[in-house]
Structure 1
Amino acid sequence: MSEKYLQELADPDGVCYGCGHAHPTGLHVSSRWDADGVHVLCEHEPAATFTGWPGLVYGGLIAMLVDCHSNWTAMAYHYRAEGREAGTLPRIDCVTGELSVRYLKPTPMGVPLLLRARVEGPVARKSRVVCEVYAGETLTAVGDSVFVRVDTTRLAASAHAAPADERSTG
């Protein structure tokens, strides 16, 4: 198992605010396989700028951490299902299809967070990821989301294409 994080291996030039290691001011979410071979882990200590209520982590940050880390969990499972290391070609990419976060308890500031995620069910074009968020020993939130394997070149082209009724015919 590599010492590097999945993001460093598979997308060293990534610019996502949450998980892009090349983003100059981003969160630099870093995901790695747990020794148990089932879970993908991420540790993060929120900066003071992510305070919601006094002394508590802003819920939107928790959602962002769950989103980025769960996406990388889905991709890690896809690489493993194909018997490959993260970062080998062809590249594997997933996007968020559904994102759900249940906030179970307030998440305190000043406490390192541990995100512990796994794919539930089959690793397929659409994969379900469950992500637990711990502040110390306390489970504070659970993400239950779906990630879709995509070809990002085609995805970007379709996102930037004008709808048929808005295209110029001239």
Structure 2
Amino acid sequence: MGEGLMSSESKEEEGVERAEALATLNVSMRRLMESVRTTRAPKGVIETARAQVEALSTELEPYIHPGPHAQADQLGGLGWVAETQDPMQIFPYSPLIGRLNPVSPPVEFWVEDGVVHGRGVFGALYCGPPGFVHGGVVAAVMDELLGVVNVVNDLGAMTGTLTVRYRKPTPLFQEIRMEGHSQGSEGRKVYAEGRFWAGEELLAEASGTFIKLTQAASDRFGWSG
């Protein structure tokens, strides 16, 4: 029994260490992607970089997880959400806030009294109009914000309608502050609202209607408690 316990603890520690290493790799990947997006390097440097990236991809490919894939973990399912209120732990593979997903912008969410707060700085990768974040990126992060609001308030649901009102363009390279609030539920419908600011200037606000899954769908996704 003692050996089994030690084995379980060792596996958990190994998993934590692996996740931390992967998070560090993702920081480096985002730096690489930002450099690729903005580089004015000569052809020779670009070709050398491509060869190095190809070599790294070849080294990692034997370890690719076959799926299914999910925001929560590589095996799918959100059955353990009740154990934490930290969105960064709940959704490590999110394409919008995931520490373990290189395409996610450097956005961080946290929870205080059921309200989800966030902050992030969007670089050139997320540029739309010159000097500003692409409106689709704003909408996607807003959708994630409201979705997290629902999850941490035990109202997890799928997006039905998302309405975004763009008050001002969202600037690149400035800290953007975010806040999302639950607006309750009615039957299978769940409601949430969110806002983005730069300093005290309101940039965007959104309201969403989300639809709770049927029990059969929850079971299929592994979302049942």
TM norm. shorter chain > 0.5:
yes
State the 1:46 CA deviation: 0.6
Secondary structure, in 3 states, of the residue corresponding to 1:16?
A: coil
1:50 corresponding residue in structure 2: 126
Deviates more, 1:106-115 or 1:60-69: 106-115
Secondary structure, in 3 states, of the residue corresponding to 2:150?
A: helix
State the 1:101 CA deviation: 0.4
Matches within 5 A, 1:105-144: 105-122=168-185, 125-144=188-207
Give the partner amino acid of 2:100: A
Which structure 1 segments of 5+ residues have no match?
80-92, 157-170
Q: Deviation digits for residues 109-132 of structure 1, max 9, x if unmatched?
A: 221111111011337632111101
Normalized per residue, the structure richer in helix is: 2
1:5 paired residue among 86, 103, 115: 86
Secondary structure, in 3 states, of the residue corresponding to 1:40?
A: strand
Secondary structure, in 3 states, of the residue corresponding to 1:131?
A: strand
- Contact conserved, 1:29 with 1:44, CA < 8 A, in 2? yes
Structure 1 pair 124/43, CA: closer, same or farther in 2 (3 Å)? farther
Q: Deviation digits for residues 74-104 of structure 1, max 9, x if unmatched?
A: 111117xxxxxxxxxxxxx432111110001
Give me the CA root mean square deviation: 2.7
Secondary structure, in 3 states, of the residue corresponding to 2:192?
A: strand
Question: For the residues of structure 2 that align with 1:16 and 1:6, how far apart are their CA atoms?
Answer: 10
State the 1:54 CA deviation: 1.3
Secondary structure, in 3 states, of the residue corresponding to 1:49?
A: helix
Which structure 2 segments of 5+ residues have no match?
1-82
**Deviant stretches of 4+, over 4 Å:** none
> TM-score, structure 2 length as denominator?
0.53
- Contact conserved, 2:121 with 2:175, CA < 8 A, in 1? yes
Structure 1 pair 25/56, CA: closer, same or farther in 2 (3 Å)? closer
- Contact conserved, 2:132 with 2:171, CA < 8 A, in 1? yes
State the 1:152 CA deviation: 4.7
Give the count of matched residue pairs. 137
Larger-gyration structure (1/2):
2
Question: For the residues of structure 2 that align with 1:21 and 1:39, how far apart are their CA atoms?
Answer: 21
- Contact conserved, 1:17 with 1:23, CA < 8 A, in 2? yes
1:88 corresponding residue in structure 2: none
- Contact conserved, 1:44 with 1:112, CA < 8 A, in 2? yes
Percent identity reads 25
Structure 1 pair 22/78, CA: closer, same or farther in 2 (3 Å)? same
Secondary structure, in 3 states, of the residue corresponding to 2:105?
A: coil
